[in-house]
């Protein structure tokens, strides 16, 4: 399996979006477009990929552990995925086991015909529902939360597939952007809070549903709009677009970290240019936490837009102080201690002949465990930097995400273990600062900052304010206090 190089230098110390989805209905090249479209969201998941295609009657499936680019681009594979509709999924496992049966799209043969589904997000009551279903005779083939939805549909007492789907979704909690392929056509669903993104595009009469607009660009499609929180859209086999909202309305709480890190800078997410938001975060940082330095240096690649914003705001020159080795490829299936040690330098190197003797500020998007911030600071000092300051384009992250992002255990999060001064010592910087939550909200278009009664985003990883029940996390006792917290925080009460 090819392991690509990453946006961020240090794999082990960054959040990972678990999944990306792409679907299209109404073109003879459905699977070819899906293969292309899945290239865009591979930053959202690269350990497994799958595509299901259909002409409405027959469904074709190919799923692999590995990359879209390595497994789906031959003509024979594309030809085998026949049909005028297709959905695809790329996945980043949170668990150790990325087994093939856990790869998506999941497929089931219902009495009413075939049904394939791809899911971005995570359910917070999947374990609970699964136990119920198994006790009633359902047999699970995977350990994914998504399969719960399929069994809820199969055993629903409603008659039509759409009624069964809604019946199923009303029972689940958590975050989900779903695309499904059925006999009737392509279905897209975004959960009532709209935690994970989902956009609608169009190309010569065909409709596309996908995680980010950059996937539309890759196939030359037009962006139509974002699917709304709590909305179900259906693209029928005869090309009509239908929309309805079967859930109890709630104020949307899309993930704020999409803007900070997950989404690609060339995407538009919920109406905002990701690149521009990141530049504005950098500008906010330059105002909130200026640095008296010679050079602004991005931690490549995700820190670059914020670094440009910081440089523009501060007037301090932007320079490439860290050079990526683009050719690392898959490294170190069986790393030796000797070599693991050099991991940072293999992927990146200080541009020592330019920075020696200079005072620098490093701009990065976030700190998770802090392990690699330490290394990169040390690398800059070894290369001769006179002072090393660091500015972070997000507030301290002190809480786990349960909505489809791979966060470490809470006690591994640096910000859960210490305050900013302690972090500064730990990482070895001359100064360390994070953008404020207010500054981040401003950069994301909320000029008033964060309204605690009605926050515009899910920012649970930064604030601990979880917008849904966490049934599988909670014991009975916890549950009650959690209920209170949620009511207060989401303003639903």
Site for a second copy in 222-261 (CB under 8 A): none
Site for a second copy in 18-47 (CB under 8 A): 29, 32, 35-36, 39-40, 42-43, 46
d(CA 5, CA 7): 7
Q: How many residues bind a second copy (CB under 8 A)?
A: 87
Indicate whether 345 belongs to the interface with a second copy (CB under 8 A): yes
Indicate whether 368 belongs to the interface with a second copy (CB under 8 A): no
Indicate whether 204 belongs to the interface with a second copy (CB under 8 A): no
Residue whose CB is less far from a second copy, 352 or 369: 352
d(CA 416, CA 404): 20
Residue whose CB is less far from a second copy, 88 or 305: 305
Indicate whether 69 belongs to the interface with a second copy (CB under 8 A): yes
Asked if 390 and 361 count as a contact pair (C-beta separation under 8 A), the reply is: yes
Q: Kindly state the smallest distance separating residue 356's Cβ from a second copy, in Å.
A: 10
Asked if 73 and 35 count as a contact pair (C-beta separation under 8 A), the reply is: yes
Residue whose CB is less far from a second copy, 154 or 224: 154
Indicate whether 150 belongs to the interface with a second copy (CB under 8 A): yes
Closest alpha carbon to 107 in 99, 116, 98: 116
What would the two tokens of residue 268 be? Answer: 């538009």
Which residue in the set 139, 419, 453, 476 belongs to the binding site for a second copy (CB under 8 A)? 139
Residue whose CB is less far from a second copy, 334 or 421: 334
d(CA 102, CA 335): 27
Q: Kindly state the smallest distance separating residue 493's Cβ from a second copy, in Å.
A: 36
458 counts as catalytic: no
Indicate whether 469 belongs to the interface with a second copy (CB under 8 A): no
At residue 131, what are phi and psi to the nearest 5 degrees? Answer: -60, -40
Which residue in the set 11, 163, 167, 217 belongs to the binding site for a second copy (CB under 8 A)? 217
The per-residue DSSP string of 38-97 comes to HHGGGGG--SEEEEEEESSS-EEEEEEES-HHHHS-SHHHHHHS-SSEEEEEEE--SSS-
- Where is 379: in which H helix or E strand? helix 371-382
d(CA 483, CA 285): 35
Indicate whether 154 belongs to the interface with a second copy (CB under 8 A): yes
Indicate whether 70 belongs to the interface with a second copy (CB under 8 A): yes
Site for a second copy in 395-454 (CB under 8 A): none
Q: Which stretch binds a second copy (CB under 8 A): 116-124, 341-349, 435-443, 468-476?
A: 341-349
Indicate whether 82 belongs to the interface with a second copy (CB under 8 A): no
Q: Give the up-direction half-sphere exposure of residue 237: CA atoms within 13 A in the CB hemisphere.
A: 11
**Per-residue contact string for residues 303-332; x = within reach of a second copy by CB under 8 A:** -xx--x---x----xxxx--xxxxxxxxxx
For the chain, the first-to-last Cα distance in angstroms comes to: 49
Q: What angle do CA 142, 145, 149 make, to 5 degrees?
A: 100
Q: Kindly state the smallest distance separating residue 92's Cβ from a second copy, in Å.
A: 11
Q: Kindly state the smallest distance separating residue 110's Cβ from a second copy, in Å.
A: 7
Residue whose CB is less far from a second copy, 12 or 329: 329
Asked if 305 and 282 count as a contact pair (C-beta separation under 8 A), the reply is: yes
Site for a second copy in 282-301 (CB under 8 A): 301
Q: Which stretch binds a second copy (CB under 8 A): 117-125, 179-187, 241-249, 350-358?
A: 350-358
What would the two tokens of residue 36 be? Answer: 């292309």
Specify whether the backbone of 387 is left (phi greater than 0), alpha (psi in -120 to 50) or beta.
beta
CA 366 to each of CA 246, 277, 391, 480: distance values in angstroms, whole numbers, following the listed order: 37, 15, 9, 32
d(CA 143, CA 126): 10
Site for a second copy in 103-122 (CB under 8 A): 108-111
Q: Kindly state the smallest distance separating residue 175's Cβ from a second copy, in Å.
A: 23
Indicate whether 158 belongs to the interface with a second copy (CB under 8 A): no
Which residue in 19, 103, 210, 458 is the catalytic one?
A: 19
Which residue in the set 62, 354, 359, 381 belongs to the binding site for a second copy (CB under 8 A)? 354
d(CA 21, CA 211): 6
Q: Kindly state the smallest distance separating residue 265's Cβ from a second copy, in Å.
A: 5
Which residue in the set 24, 87, 214, 388 belongs to the binding site for a second copy (CB under 8 A)? 214
Residue whose CB is less far from a second copy, 393 or 460: 393
Q: Kindly state the smallest distance separating residue 45's Cβ from a second copy, in Å.
A: 10
Q: Kindly state the smallest distance separating residue 416's Cβ from a second copy, in Å.
A: 29
d(CA 307, CA 278): 9
Rg (CA), the chain: 23
Indicate whether 5 belongs to the interface with a second copy (CB under 8 A): yes
Instruction: Give the catalytic positions in this structure.
Output: 19
């Amino acid at each position: 399996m090819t392991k690509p190089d990453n946006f961020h230098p240090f794999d082990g110390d960054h959040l990972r979006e678990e999944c990306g989805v792409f679907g299209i209905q109404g073109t003879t090249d459905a699977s070819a477009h899906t293969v292309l479209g899945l290239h865009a969201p591979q930053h959202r998941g690269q350990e497994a990929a799958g595509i299901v295609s259909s002409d409405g009657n027959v469904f074709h499936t190919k799923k692999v552990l590995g990359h879209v680019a390595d497994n789906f681009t031959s003509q024979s594979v594309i030809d085998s995925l026949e049909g005028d509709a297709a959905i695809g999924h790329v996945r980043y496992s949170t668990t150790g086991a990325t087994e093939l049966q856990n790869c998506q799209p999941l497929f089931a043969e219902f009495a009413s015909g075939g049904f394939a589904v791809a899911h971005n997000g995570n359910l917070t009551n999947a374990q609970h529902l699964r136990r119920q279903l198994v006790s009633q005779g359902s047999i699970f083939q995977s350990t994914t939360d998504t399969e719960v939805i399929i069994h809820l549909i199969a055993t629903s007492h409603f008659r039509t597939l759409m009624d069964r789907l809604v019946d199923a979704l009303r029972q689940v909690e958590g975050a989900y952007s779903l695309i499904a392929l059925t006999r009737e056509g392509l279905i897209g669903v975004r959960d009532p809070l709209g935690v994970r993104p989902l956009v609608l595009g169009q190309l010569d009469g065909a409709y596309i549903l996908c995680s980010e607009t950059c996937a539309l660009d890759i196939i030359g499609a037009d962006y139509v709009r974002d699917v709304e929180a709590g909305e179900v859209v259906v693209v029928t086999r005869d090309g009509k677009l239908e929309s309805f909202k079967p859930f109890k309305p709630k104020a949307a709480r899309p993930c704020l970290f999409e803007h900070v890190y997950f989404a690609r800078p060339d995407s538009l997410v919920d109406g905002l240019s990701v690149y521009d938001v990141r530049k504005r975060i950098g500008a906010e940082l330059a105002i909130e936490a200026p640095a008296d330095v010679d050079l602004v240096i991005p931690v490549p690649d995700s820190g670059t837009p914020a670094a440009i914003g910081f440089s523009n705001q501060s007037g301090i020159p932007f320079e490439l102080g860290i050079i990526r080795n683009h050719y690392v490829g898959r490294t170190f299936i069986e790393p030796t201690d000797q070599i693991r040690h050099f991991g940072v330098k293999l992927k990146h190197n200080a541009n020592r002949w330019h920075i020696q003797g200079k005072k620098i500020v490093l701009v990065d998007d976030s700190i998770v465990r802090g392990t690699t911030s330490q290394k990169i600071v040390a690398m800059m000092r070894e290369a001769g930097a006179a002072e090393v300051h660091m500015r972070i384009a997000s507030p301290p992250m002190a809480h786990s995400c349960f909505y489809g992002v791979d966060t470490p255990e809470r006690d591994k999060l640096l910000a859960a273990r210490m305050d900013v001064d302690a972090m500064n010592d730990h990482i070895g910087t001359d100064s360390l600062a994070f953008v404020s939550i207010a500054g981040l909200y401003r950069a994301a278009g909320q000029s008033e900052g964060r309204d605690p009664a009605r926050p515009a985003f899910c920012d649970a990883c930064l604030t601990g304010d979880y917008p849904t029940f966490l049934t599988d996390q909670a014991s009975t006792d916890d549950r009650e206090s959690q209920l209170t917290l949620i009511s207060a925080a989401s303003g639903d009460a």
